[in-house]
């Protein structure tokens, strides 16, 4: 996964938030005004009674539908498996797992392996989480599900856009004085193509519970329940914007990954504002804020915070529980979120971290579950929980807003929530499919992989020895999860523990756009030797190729890109081959190593219908390499290569052959070389459902 596209998100935030205010159905989520909490719980009760009556009255009809379904679902055979449980441990690496098992550190994984099997699981091309999990979900490759990266480019503007969802505001707006009232619904569409296999199960009458599988925002209807995962936004509409309140001399409101706000204590009191989303109702926009008062107790390293009608104490280094915050854009509306507070320090300067404001699962201002009441139901079961797709705030650690300890504390806090949720959901899914993805494994490895390599440039100036065992301990914790899971499943359950990809070091970054510039494929406007973010300042009339995202190179194709100059046919094929040839085996002059292991030409390597708009080339980096930080935000810089000195020190956006994931199964795996696209056919077969012919994967058991 990637957090490099921060500056994009505010630009789409307003669009999202117009959506919050817009349609009657969405308004219901944010509440019509005071007293809503009471009214809504009353409504839930009323709805439950009505549903019970309806369900009784409609029984004959449902019986008929059931019979039709059965006929339609002729592919459903009887099997000795009544339930499949898929646990996704994002980024779990087979080599590390193997090593720790050999050391005897993972007794439960070993037990699972001995009961069934353990094997590497081929990842997707490219090996990026949204791509890989989409292949898990649909059983097809990127050219069939159309997700090639977190981002793609808008061919009309060359600006980055989300690959996973298309979110647009209501097209008509009604204006009353200073207010703008959107008419009609905003459009939120999942851009993933093909069909989730749980939808196929649902058509055969098999129920599924799907928890936090990536690329499920906005949630789609099917026969089951689903909570959205990676790619679900925060309340600002971004993929996670933290706030740091500091008495250090930084200018206020500057964006360094998150937002930094300058505060000045007056005596022992700080009066400031909690910064929320843009006001969707006001013509002049502006941010929604809440007054926040912080009382300092420097002698005890503690503060007392009053915000949004709540008061709580916070010790240095500690986290608050989820704090509910309610913003009021006007017209009696409410926009609700939840966030975590963490007191970084009180002296020599004051620093308070506030996590991105997550959509409140009990009052979601955007749909984050199917049915929409499901996120509320889960909150009633386990209390408030993080809903942001990329919930663990890797960016805050990368930017030095929080330290390693605080990051780990937050990551495991979110992990505990997820585990609690998972076991509750599992209990309530006695038959059918229960799938849950845990992100902790990916995020912790991204941030601490450097500690496995004493020569990692990221170790400079950082504690390494102290965190030497963080990744080992992470795997041990996951082993605990597997242990608890093995205790509660029976022999009629098929258990699969999988990861979408493995991990490798990210020691050196390559800026592909700088390389394209140096090789005469990309040109900057006259007088520039650097571009801005997202290729601002690139001269499109002369540029033949540009990179965008974590592995993609686009050719500036005539007829496809707004200012395309490369003709289709022979000129396009020749250019693709030329760049591909030059990039393969590209040597890093500083280390003498090959930075790029392979390059895939999308249109010849894939057979699916979604190749025309895809990146023309997918770059497979060698172990130790990845796109540089500037490269990932589309900034053309003087140097091609640079050391990676950030906390984010491990990665997987490399040649997929280098980073397979894991597959643990409590049944024997019957095929060699399994891959992610085999999981959907395996689950379908296990539950007696014929796999659709378009799925290229094959059942593994």
- Rounded to whole angstroms, the Cα distance separating 17 from 280 reads 6
**Which segment (1-9, 52-60, 488-496, 593-601) binds Zn ion by CB under 5 A?**
1-9
Contacts of Zn ion in 466-495 (CB under 5 A): none
| HSE toward the beta carbon, residue 70, CA cutoff 13 A | 7
| HSE toward the beta carbon, residue 213, CA cutoff 13 A | 27
| In the complex, least distance from residue 139 CB atom to Zn ion, rounded to whole angstroms | 22
| HSE toward the beta carbon, residue 249, CA cutoff 13 A | 0
- Rounded to whole angstroms, the Cα distance separating 561 from 153 reads 9
Q: Is 579 helix (H, G, I), strand (E, B) or coil?
A: helix
| In the complex, least distance from residue 552 CB atom to Zn ion, rounded to whole angstroms | 17
Other C-beta atoms within 10 Å of 480: how many? 13
The gap from C-alpha 299 to its chain's centroid, in whole angstroms, comes to 40
Checking DSSP bridges between strand 552-555 and strand 269-278, what pairing results, if any? unpaired
Task: Pick the closer one to Zn ion by CB: 1 or 437.
Answer: 1
| In the complex, least distance from residue 206 CB atom to Zn ion, rounded to whole angstroms | 31
Contacts 24+ apart (CB under 8 A), 407-414: 407/447, 408/444, 408/470, 409/319, 410/319, 410/340, 410/342, 410/355, 411/440, 411/443, 411/444, 412/440, 412/477, 413/319, 413/340, 414/386, 414/439, 414/440
- Rounded to whole angstroms, the Cα distance separating 168 from 22 reads 11
Checking DSSP bridges between strand 617-621 and strand 552-555, what pairing results, if any? antiparallel
Task: Pick the closer one to Zn ion by CB: 1 or 294.
Answer: 1
- Rounded to whole angstroms, the Cα distance separating 371 from 225 reads 6
| In the complex, least distance from residue 445 CB atom to Zn ion, rounded to whole angstroms | 8
Task: Pick the closer one to Zn ion by CB: 1 or 106.
Answer: 1
Task: Pick the closer one to Zn ion by CB: 1 or 434.
Answer: 1
Task: Pick the closer one to Zn ion by CB: 3 or 566.
Answer: 3
User: Taking a C-beta distance cutoff of 8 angstroms, is the pair 3, 241 a contact?
Assistant: no
Checking DSSP bridges between strand 641-643 and strand 504-510, what pairing results, if any? antiparallel
Q: Give the largest Cα separation in the chain, rounded.
A: 76
Task: Pick the closer one to Zn ion by CB: 93 or 442.
Answer: 442
Task: Pick the closer one to Zn ion by CB: 1 or 227.
Answer: 1
| In the complex, least distance from residue 92 CB atom to Zn ion, rounded to whole angstroms | 11
| In the complex, least distance from residue 396 CB atom to Zn ion, rounded to whole angstroms | 16
Other C-beta atoms within 10 Å of 400: how many? 12
- Rounded to whole angstroms, the Cα distance separating 171 from 186 reads 8
Q: Of 480, 389, 495, which is closest to residue 439 (Cα–Cα)? A: 389
Task: Pick the closer one to Zn ion by CB: 128 or 307.
Answer: 128
User: Which residue(s) pair with 447 in the sheet?
Assistant: none
Residue 459: DSSP 8-state: G
- Rounded to whole angstroms, the Cα distance separating 276 from 8 reads 17
Question: Which alpha helices (DSSP H) does 520-622 contain, by range?
Answer: 570-583, 602-605
User: Taking a C-beta distance cutoff of 8 angstroms, is the pair 255, 7 a contact?
Assistant: yes
Written as six digits, the tokens of 155 are 């061919």
Task: Pick the closer one to Zn ion by CB: 200 or 447.
Answer: 447
x/- track of binding to Zn ion for residues 434-453 (CB under 5 A): --------x-----------
x/- track of binding to Zn ion for residues 292-321 (CB under 5 A): ------------------------------
| In the complex, least distance from residue 679 CB atom to Zn ion, rounded to whole angstroms | 19
Task: Pick the closer one to Zn ion by CB: 1 or 359.
Answer: 1
| In the complex, least distance from residue 128 CB atom to Zn ion, rounded to whole angstroms | 8
**DSSP string over 366-423:** S--EESTTHHHHHHHHH------TT-S-HHHHHTTSS-HHHHHHHHHHHHHHHHHHHH
The count of residues interacting with Zn ion (CB under 5 A) is 2
Task: Pick the closer one to Zn ion by CB: 407 or 515.
Answer: 407
Task: Pick the closer one to Zn ion by CB: 500 or 642.
Answer: 500
In the bound state, the residue with its beta carbon closest to Zn ion is: 1
Other C-beta atoms within 10 Å of 380: how many? 12
User: CA distances (Å), 575 to each of 248, 524, 546, 553, 601, in order?
Assistant: 51, 19, 12, 12, 11
| In the complex, least distance from residue 446 CB atom to Zn ion, rounded to whole angstroms | 6
| In the complex, least distance from residue 9 CB atom to Zn ion, rounded to whole angstroms | 18
Question: Which residues, including other chains, have CB under 8 Å from residue 679's CB and lie 6 or more apart?
Answer: 86, 136, 139, 496, 498, 697, 700
Residue 468: DSSP 8-state: T
Written as six digits, the tokens of 692 are 């659709």
Contacts of Zn ion in 269-288 (CB under 5 A): none
654 binds Zn ion (CB under 5 A): no
- Rounded to whole angstroms, the Cα distance separating 581 from 451 reads 35
Contacts of Zn ion in 380-399 (CB under 5 A): none
| In the complex, least distance from residue 11 CB atom to Zn ion, rounded to whole angstroms | 24
Task: Pick the closer one to Zn ion by CB: 391 or 433.
Answer: 391
| In the complex, least distance from residue 443 CB atom to Zn ion, rounded to whole angstroms | 7
Contacts of Zn ion in 317-356 (CB under 5 A): none
Task: Pick the closer one to Zn ion by CB: 1 or 689.
Answer: 1
| In the complex, least distance from residue 14 CB atom to Zn ion, rounded to whole angstroms | 28
| In the complex, least distance from residue 549 CB atom to Zn ion, rounded to whole angstroms | 14
| In the complex, least distance from residue 69 CB atom to Zn ion, rounded to whole angstroms | 39
Task: Pick the closer one to Zn ion by CB: 360 or 442.
Answer: 442
* The only residue of 1, 305, 524, 663 in contact with Zn ion, by rule CB under 5 A: 1
Other C-beta atoms within 10 Å of 38: how many? 9
Residues near Zn ion, by CB under 5 A:
1, 442
């Amino acid at each position: 996964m990637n957090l490099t596209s921060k500056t994009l998100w505010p630009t789409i935030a307003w669009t999202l938030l117009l959506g919050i205010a817009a349609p009657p159905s969405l308004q219901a989520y944010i509440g019509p005004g005071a007293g809503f909490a009471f009214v809504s719980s009353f409504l839930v009760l009323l709805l439950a009674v009505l549903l019970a009556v309806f369900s009784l009255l409609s029984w004959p009809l449902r019986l008929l539908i059931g019979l039709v379904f059965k006929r339609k679902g002729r592919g459903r055979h009887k099997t000795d498996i009544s339930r499949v449980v898929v646990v996704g441990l994002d980024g779990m690496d087979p080599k590390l797992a193997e090593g720790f098992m050999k050391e005897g550190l993972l007794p439960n994984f070993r037990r699972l392996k001995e009961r069934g099997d353990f094997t590497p699981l081929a990842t997707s091309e490219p090996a990026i989480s949204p791509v890989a999990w989409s292949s898990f979900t649909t059983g097809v490759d990127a050219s069939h599900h159309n997700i090639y990266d977190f981002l793609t480019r808008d061919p009309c503007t060359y600006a980055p856009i989300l690959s996973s969802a298309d979110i647009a505001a209501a097209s008509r707006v009604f204006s009353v004085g200073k207010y703008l009232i959107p008419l009609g619904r905003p459009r939120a569409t999942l851009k993933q193509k093909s069909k989730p296999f749980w939808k196929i199960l649902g058509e055969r009458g098999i129920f599924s519970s799907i928890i936090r599988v990536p690329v499920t925002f906005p949630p789609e209807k099917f026969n089951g329940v689903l909570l959205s995962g990676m790619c679900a936004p925060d309340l600002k509409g971004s993929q996670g914007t933290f706030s740091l309140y500091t008495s250090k001399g930084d200018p206020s409101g500057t964006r360094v990954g998150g937002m930094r706000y300058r505060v000045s204590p007056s005596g022992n009191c700080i009066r400031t504002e909690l910064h929320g989303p843009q006001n969707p109702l006001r013509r002049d926009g502006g941010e929604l804020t809440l007054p926040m008062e912080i009382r300092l107790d420097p002698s005890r390293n503690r503060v007392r915070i009053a915000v949004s009608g709540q008061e709580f104490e916070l010790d240095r280094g500690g986290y608050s529980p989820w704090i509910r915050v309610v913003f009021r854009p006007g017209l009696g509306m409410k926009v609700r979120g939840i966030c975590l507070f963490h007191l970084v320090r009180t002296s020599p300067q004051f620093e308070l971290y506030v996590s991105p404001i997550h959509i409140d699962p009990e009052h979601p201002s955007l749909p984050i579950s199917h049915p929409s009441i499901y996120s509320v139901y889960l909150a009633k079961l386990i209390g408030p929980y993080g809903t942001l797709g990329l919930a663990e705030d890797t960016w805050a650690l990368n930017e030095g807003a929080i330290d390693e300890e605080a990051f780990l504390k937050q990551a495991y806090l979110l992990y505990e929530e997820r585990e609690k949720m998972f076991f509750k959901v599992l209990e309530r899914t006695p038959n059918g499919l229960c799938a849950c993805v845990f992100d902790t494994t990916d995020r912790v490895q991204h941030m601490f992989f450097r500690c496995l390599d004493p020569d990692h440039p990221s170790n400079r100036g950082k504690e390494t020895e102290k965190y030497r065992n963080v990744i080992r301990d992470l795997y041990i914790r996951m082993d605990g999860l597997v242990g608890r899971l093995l205790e509660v499943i029976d022999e009629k359950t098929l258990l699969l523990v999988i990861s979408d990809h493995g991990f490798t070091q990210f020691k050196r970054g390559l800026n592909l756009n700088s390389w394209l510039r140096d090789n005469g494929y990309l040109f900057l406007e006259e007088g520039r030797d650097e571009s801005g973010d997202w290729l601002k300042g690139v001269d499109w009339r002369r540029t033949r190729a540009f990179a965008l995202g974590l592995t993609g190179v686009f050719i500036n194709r005539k007829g496809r890109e707004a200012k395309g100059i490369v003709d289709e046919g022979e000129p396009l094929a020749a250019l693709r081959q030329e760049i591909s040839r030059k990039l393969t085996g590209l040597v890093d002059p500083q280390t003498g190593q090959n930075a790029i292991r392979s390059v895939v030409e999308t249109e010849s390597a894939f057979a699916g219908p979604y190749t025309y708009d895809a990146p023309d080339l997918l770059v497979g980096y060698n172990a130790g390499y990845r796109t540089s930080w500037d490269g990932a935000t589309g900034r053309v810089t003087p140097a091609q290569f640079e050391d990676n000195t950030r906390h984010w020190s491990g990665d997987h956006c490399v040649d997929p052959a280098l980073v397979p994931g894991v597959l643990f199964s409590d049944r024997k795996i019957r095929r060699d070389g399994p891959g992610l696209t085999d999981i959907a056919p395996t689950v379908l077969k296990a539950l007696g459902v014929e796999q659709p012919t378009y799925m290229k994967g094959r059942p593994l058991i």
